[in-house]
Amino acid sequence: QVHLVESGGDSVQPGGSLTLFCAASGDSASGYCLAWSRQAPGKEREGVAVISPGGYTYYDDSVKGRFTISRNYGENTLTLQMNDLKPDDTGVYHCAADRECGGRWPPVVADVVRYGSWGQGTQVTVSS
């Protein structure tokens, strides 16, 4: 079992940048798919980005070209670099881990909502 703790959420203006961090403990996360999801007010949780155990990355169309997911195997950490932020990016961001990568290969970003381990979330607000 992997225990996940997020940090880095903040309030930023449209067009700004923010970096989210997720620290994993317990089992080594090296064999897991790691991912970020977000939940906007009044909406369902949705997958944002996935990184496979081998380092391949997958993104929701809404963030392609703006967000970058990365992982550090030695430090057991996950990062989400977010650029050109928009008001629609507002929400609670959770990191997630799953040894089965949501059950499909290659991983599907929409399957993140079925991942087995979750952090408590960190708030991102994009507003002028």
Q: Strands 77-82 and 46-51: what pairing?
A: unpaired
**28 pLDDT exceeds 90?**
no
Specify the pLDDT at position 7.
Answer: 97
The answer to whether the CB of 67 falls within 8 A of the CB of 49 is: yes
pLDDT in tens, 107-118: 999 999 999 999
Distance CA 65, CA 7 (A): 22
pLDDT in tens, 50-87: 999 999 999 999 999 999 999 999 999 999 999 999 99
pLDDT in tens, 3-22: 999 999 999 999 999 999 99
**Per this entry, what is the length of the chain?**
128
